[in-house]
Structure 1
């Protein structure tokens, strides 16, 4: 499988996502610093929580609409909103005009746009890809995504403080080009065969629609597994980073390494490993059973985070940083491939919206982990981390088992009809 063999829409999505992620990551991670410098840390926390809450609701509504009006229409609407928001944000952060509150309103609007486009774009990829193609697509997307995040964060760190206006303009230009590409070069993928009749669609409201999704036991176990495993990743820049800052200090060949420097080194190892090994590892692992790869990857992931929770050994931390990255590289593309196979064909965007919601819950658990770590010792946190990883693994395995049983039962019913 090669990039040129993919559907043209998938190739466009991967390319536009790469440049969008670079520009987004050069701005969004630094907005908390921007707002706190103008309105204070306390008010900034409230504003960001409001923003996350709005994004959750919008994301769920987007999934509902994308399964009715179409993926492309939702993506065009979202991208138009993004262009408008960024135009205003650039204007009120220019050399001629500055407004913090208008910036915040447009920041919320920009995040609403991202929440609108996410479920539709993810469902579109599933619509036009085969099960055989998906491991390569998700592996490639994971690789390019991490590169773009690293590049964007580096650019933002260098330019955001003094050149916000230029960064907003770059984001606006990328968003404008993306809008044109969606309009003129991407086709609708939601066909009539993938949706219910209009009469049925009109009778089912958004609440009943999502209740049906929540009743899908296999999928909800998958979501629960995602929450547990992703909550470990969100511990990295919270509990683990704070613990290292407070506890870690060593010298390596006469070079002083503080906890903050150690955390930065671990992030560097993570980025370099992802950039250098993702494509080769994905190609090699595609030869083996996905369930086995998932189990091994998550086990390595959980064990590595357990070490990060308590160890102050330089060599162990470096090894764990390498291993948790390899574990993530093993399970993450497999997870995406399994997800694409278990979502209901008639409500793909809605399922993707609920899956996106699991990341917000995992972020909340990541924040709670920092609070919990203030009351229990680091070795107890190591046990908690290991437990989260293993419970997540078990939920994934049960979810896959339910999917396989349903597939066998469906095939048996087809056989019995002949």
Structure 2
């Protein structure tokens, strides 16, 4: 399988998603520091929580509208929001004018744009791909996404503090280019079937009925719960595990003093290198195996690795475990997305993807709770909790893949 064999929409979205992710990672992670320094930590925390809440609503609304109005219209609308937000943020951080509050509201606007885009893009990929292609597509997307995250974080670190005007100017131009590409090159992927009831459906009752149907889908909700459990492990890495290493870890390797903070940086470096070097090769190789077995192996490796990271203070063991948890993630993540794509209702793909996106917000909250829990129980207790989270996620995934109500197994093999 080659990239040139994929649908035009997918090739375009892989490219534009790379730059969108680059933009987000160069700006979003630094906004908490920016708002805290200008408005105080307490108010900044409230504003950022409001941002998450609005983004959740925007994502759900975009999924509903996309399934009724089409993918391209919603994508164009979201990118127009992004262009406007970045333009105003650029002006509000220019040498002639500075406004923290205007920056915040445009940051909120930008987040809404990203939340709108996510479910629609995921639904479009399913629209124009086959089951055989999806593991490969998600593997490439995962690879490009992680490269953009690393580059965006580096670019933001260099420019955000002292050169925000330049940073926002660059990404304003990127957003304009993305809008042009979507307008003139992306094809509508949803075949709409007009009916007399279409207009009637686009109201509050239709919205609630739409998501009520999604929430009643037992298999999908089990799958979503599994994603919450497993993804919550990832959000422990920069919270409990990072804090524990800072407090407990110290080593001298080849006369070099390695503190806990440096050890955490090494873990992240190993993660990035492994992803860049192995993602595409693993994605192609794993495509020939049964997806249920691949998912199981990946999650088991991933869960055990996080349990070890929560208790070990050995340099060599942590390095090995950092490699293993990355490999486990590379094994299960693209396959998970492929299984999800084959599970959702074809008539409500964007709505399903919007609910799936919520699982990441819930997992993030669990990640934050893990930091509090870690202050109350010993490291061995956290290791047990991590293992239970991983196994609970695997159990829910297996239940979701096997439909017990009909005693038929979903076709998840290649």
- Length-normalised TM-score, structure 1: 0.95
Structure-2 separation of matches of 1:65 and 1:208? 13
CA contact (8 A) 1:342 1:403 kept: no
Alignment of structure 1 residues 41-80 onto 2, 5 Å: 41-80=41-80
The residue that corresponds to 1:299 in the other structure is 300
- How far the C-alpha of 1:198 sits from its partner, in A, is 2.3
Deviates more, 1:32-41 or 1:401-410: 401-410
Name segments (4+ residues, structure 1) moved above 4 Å.
193-197, 403-410
The residue that corresponds to 2:7 in the other structure is 7
Question: Does the C-alpha gap of structure 1 residues 207 and 44 become closer, same or farther in structure 2, counting only changes over 3 Å?
Answer: same
Structure 1 unmatched runs, 5+: 411-418
Write out per-residue CA displacement over residues 321-349 of structure 1, whole angstroms, 9 at most, x where no aligned residue.
00000000000000000010001011000
Structure-1 separation of matches of 2:139 and 2:35? 35
CA contact (8 A) 1:56 1:115 kept: yes
Say whether residues 1:261 and 2:258 are aligned partners: no
Question: Does the C-alpha gap of structure 1 residues 282 and 271 become closer, same or farther in structure 2, counting only changes over 3 Å?
Answer: same
Write out per-residue CA displacement over residues 268-288 of structure 1, whole angstroms, 9 at most, x where no aligned residue.
000000000011111111111
CA contact (8 A) 1:59 1:118 kept: yes
- How far the C-alpha of 1:208 sits from its partner, in A, is 1.5
Structure-2 separation of matches of 1:47 and 1:19? 26
Structure-2 separation of matches of 1:314 and 1:62? 46
Say whether residues 1:342 and 2:343 are aligned partners: yes
Say whether residues 1:29 and 2:29 are aligned partners: yes
- How far the C-alpha of 1:16 sits from its partner, in A, is 0.7
CA contact (8 A) 1:266 1:321 kept: yes
- How far the C-alpha of 1:196 sits from its partner, in A, is 9.9
- How far the C-alpha of 1:43 sits from its partner, in A, is 1.2
SS in 1 for 2:160: helix
The residue that corresponds to 2:320 in the other structure is 319
CA contact (8 A) 1:194 1:345 kept: no
Structure-2 separation of matches of 1:311 and 1:188? 51
CA contact (8 A) 1:244 1:260 kept: yes
The residue that corresponds to 1:282 in the other structure is 283
Question: Does the C-alpha gap of structure 1 residues 319 and 117 become closer, same or farther in structure 2, counting only changes over 3 Å?
Answer: same
Say whether residues 1:308 and 2:300 are aligned partners: no
The residue that corresponds to 1:220 in the other structure is 221
- How far the C-alpha of 1:23 sits from its partner, in A, is 2.0
SS in 2 for 1:27: helix
Question: Does the C-alpha gap of structure 1 residues 196 and 113 become closer, same or farther in structure 2, counting only changes over 3 Å?
Answer: farther
Structure-1 separation of matches of 2:347 and 2:213? 12
Write out per-residue CA displacement over residues 365-416 of structure 1, whole angstroms, 9 at most, x where no aligned residue.
0000000000000000000000000000010011011299576799xxxxxx
CA contact (8 A) 2:66 2:74 kept: yes
- Length-normalised TM-score, structure 2: 0.96
Q: How many residues align?
A: 410
The residue that corresponds to 1:231 in the other structure is 232
- How far the C-alpha of 1:193 sits from its partner, in A, is 5.2
Alignment of structure 1 residues 337-376 onto 2, 5 Å: 337-376=338-377
Structure-2 separation of matches of 1:194 and 1:385? 48
